[in-house]
Structure 1
Amino acid sequence: MPLLLASSPSPALRLPLRARLKVLASAEVGASGRAGAGAGVGGGGFPAFLPREVERIRDGPAIHLAKRIERVPVQTGFSKSPIPSSCVRPLKQQQSGDPVVLLHGFDSSCLEWRYTYPLLEDAGLEAWAVDVLGWGFSNLETRPPGDVASKREHLYQFWRSYIRRPMVLVGPSLGAAVAIDFTVNYPEAVSKLIFLSASVYAEGTRDMSRVPKFVPYAGVSLLKSLPLRLFATLLAFHKIPGGPAGFFDWVQIGRLHCLLPWWEDATVDFMLNGGYNVLNQINQVKQKCLIIWGEEDGIISNKQAYRLHQELPDAVLRQIGQCGHIPHVEKPREVTKHVLDFLRTESERAEKAEKAKQGSSLPSTVGTL
């Protein structure tokens, strides 16, 4: 679930829903998953490295996108061997136009994009959905570090190995902080930025250097629990289609990556290292930005949309009515329209600027008779 929080949740969060969610919680089967790093196809045509619980998902777009997830090797300076890193690659890479790279929120995965990704692809964009190091479905058996610097380098090496062109970087919720941190450090890799319900004003996790390790592990264990995930899903969305069955399916999709054996270690490491704090980096972003926000966001007030709009040097703001914290899941068509309009406008502006530049550089043809 792409929560804005970068710290361990309070145990009190699960209390209000215990009675209401008892029936749904009883349907959970033990969280066992396939730990292997390998390629290949598992049951139901899914990649073999996904937890076997993926076979219980009923959401058609989630099933389709899950079957396209693959692992590609990414070599970093902090790992002796390449990290098998999970992503969804475009069916065809283009030679022109900026690729669109989709990140995800805190403690989530590329499956966030199950509804919007195919719309972007159908519109002709070269779209990548990339799992941030420490979350998603990468093979972290070697337990690479989960701090911000490592996440940043991993994304850069992924970009350097597979994309190699300036990209439109898309960050929802805490993914917006990931995108800002990356862009300020590697501005040459990013042409434009798109934020959705951006979590960029949190100051990371509190100092946990003296906290016994069992404390963050207890918090992380709660973060994975079905009652908390049910509660978080209720907070994150304005309306979920499909009734209780659809609601429970969305919860299962959102917590699928938590069933991998290294998820707890990676999340605790992220917490102990302080999380993201990009407050002083926002005004360093020079790229053109699009800000999208759900008007009914129950996790981050949309008042922060106006604050971010004012603080970014070059940004446009679009709000979506009757929409919660995760617009690309709840209102994929509206999000796609705003993205396409933004990219089209910027492309037309760039073309006009280039023509004006060429016109001003032409030698004068006026002579004296």
Structure 2
Amino acid sequence: MTTQIPVSASAPLPIEFSTWSWQGHNICYTVQGEGVPLVLVHGFGASIGHWRKNIPVLAAGGYKVFALDLLGFGRSDKPIELTYELELWQRLLKEFWETHIQEPAVFVGNSIGALLCLMVLADYPEITRGGVLLNAAGGLNHRPEELPLPLRLMMTGFNKLVTSQLVGTFLFNIIRQKPRLRRTLRQVYRDRTAITDDLIDLLHEPSCHPNAQKVFAAILSAPPGPKPESLLPKIAQPLLILWGEKDPWTPISSAKFYQDLAEEKEHVQFIPIPDTGHCPHDERPDLVNAHILNWLNTAIR
């Protein structure tokens, strides 16, 4: 069964999603277009819909575009008996590729999704043609040693609160309120006109699932996973790194090792996106789509 996901009026084709059963759990995914396969991987709290401005354009550019809701997010199942960690989603991506794609693909990710793409490129080079990273996260969560002591103690206390049954539910219900979501997005989107009601609904709807709070707490208390610096030396595939310059969550100053790598390695390209925040594909889709298509047409084909 397929169901349409609303997209902007300028999108050339509607986006539809289907369901795939993975280890007994329903995973929501979409596919559009023909050509070299692209796999789009969303960030924390997002879903397929966060790519609504990109999927039709990339498909129209001559590529077969896949996107999926990671387990625990979007319209995919939200089981509470699992240990949520980056390696879980990495296995999901690998087995999704084995089931639906079966030829080397370009993996495209934002934030946590970008880190997952790096993991796939590093550990499963045989299934990849290259990767596109948009404001890549340094870990699923902050590493304690990377935080100053006061903030480290504060985050430890916060994690204990969100994982508690009573207080955690109370906090989650505050965090997921639509006005609160809008204020959060105003911190990371420079273009306020991109913060539409559709975007708020897209982020809010999955939080209404009965298991959403427990999954949220499990992810916040999960290990951070591998560091990008440890993955990059393993990657020989073409790599495009796009970075919103005004991102307060993963500031461009934290991307220096990507910039240095691009200067040293011919297969790595780094492009800053001016006056843009953490989600450049949604905030500046025309520019990001053009950069991705140009890179694909030169570095991949």
- Aligned to 1:84, which of 8, 26, 30? 26
Shift of 1:219: 4.7
Q: Work out the CA distance in 1 between the residues paired with 2:91 and 2:143.
A: 21
- In structure 2, relative to structure 1, the CA distance for the partners of 1:203 and 1:285 (3 Å cut) is farther
Residues 139 and 224, structure 2, Cα contact 8 Å, conserved in 1: no
- Aligned to 1:293, which of 243, 246, 267? 243
Report the structure number with the largest CA radius of gyration: 1
Partner deviation per Cα, 1:291-348 (whole Å, 9 max, x = no partner): 1112332332222333323247541111222322211111111111111111122146
Q: Work out the CA distance in 2 between the residues paired with 1:274 and 1:143.
A: 17
Query: Percent identical across equivalent pairs?
Result: 21
Determine the structure 2 residue equivalent to 1:119: 57
Structure 1 alignment gaps of length 5 or more:
1-38, 48-56, 76-80, 349-369
Shift of 1:141: 4.9
Q: Work out the CA distance in 2 between the residues paired with 1:285 and 1:150.
A: 21
Shift of 1:148: 2.1
- In structure 2, relative to structure 1, the CA distance for the partners of 1:58 and 1:165 (3 Å cut) is closer
Shift of 1:202: 7.0
Partner deviation per Cα, 1:100-129 (whole Å, 9 max, x = no partner): 111111111011111111111111111111
Shift of 1:272: 2.8
Q: Work out the CA distance in 2 between the residues paired with 1:208 and 1:201.
A: 16
Q: Work out the CA distance in 1 between the residues paired with 2:108 and 2:218.
A: 25
What pairs with 1:162-311 in structure 2 (closer than 5 Å)? 162-200=100-138, 204=142, 211=160, 213-214=163-164, 217-241=169-193, 247-279=196-228, 280-311=230-261
Q: TM-score, normalised on structure 1?
A: 0.67
- SS state of the match for residue 72, structure 1? strand
Determine the structure 1 residue equivalent to 2:283: 330
Residues 86 and 140, structure 2, Cα contact 8 Å, conserved in 1: no
Residues 298 and 325, structure 1, Cα contact 8 Å, conserved in 2: yes
Shift of 1:270: 2.1
- In structure 2, relative to structure 1, the CA distance for the partners of 1:100 and 1:58 (3 Å cut) is closer
Q: Work out the CA distance in 1 between the residues paired with 2:294 and 2:8.
A: 28
Task: Write out the 4+ residue segments of structure 1 that deviate beyond 6 Å after TM superposition.
Answer: 207-210
Residues 116 and 328, structure 1, Cα contact 8 Å, conserved in 2: yes
What pairs with 1:9-20 in structure 2 (closer than 5 Å)? none
Q: Work out the CA distance in 2 between the residues paired with 1:228 and 1:275.
A: 25
- SS state of the match for residue 89, structure 1? strand
Shift of 1:211: 3.9
Partner deviation per Cα, 1:146-192 (whole Å, 9 max, x = no partner): 22222111111111100111110011112111112222222212220
Which range moves more in the overlay, 280-289 or 215-224? 215-224
Residues 140 and 222, structure 2, Cα contact 8 Å, conserved in 1: no
Q: Work out the CA distance in 2 between the residues paired with 1:256 and 1:117.
A: 21
Superposition CA RMSD, Å: 3.0
Alignment length, in residue pairs? 282
Partner deviation per Cα, 1:68-107 (whole Å, 9 max, x = no partner): 12212224xxxxx3x211111125x44xx3x111111111
- 1:73 equivalent to 2:21? Answer yes
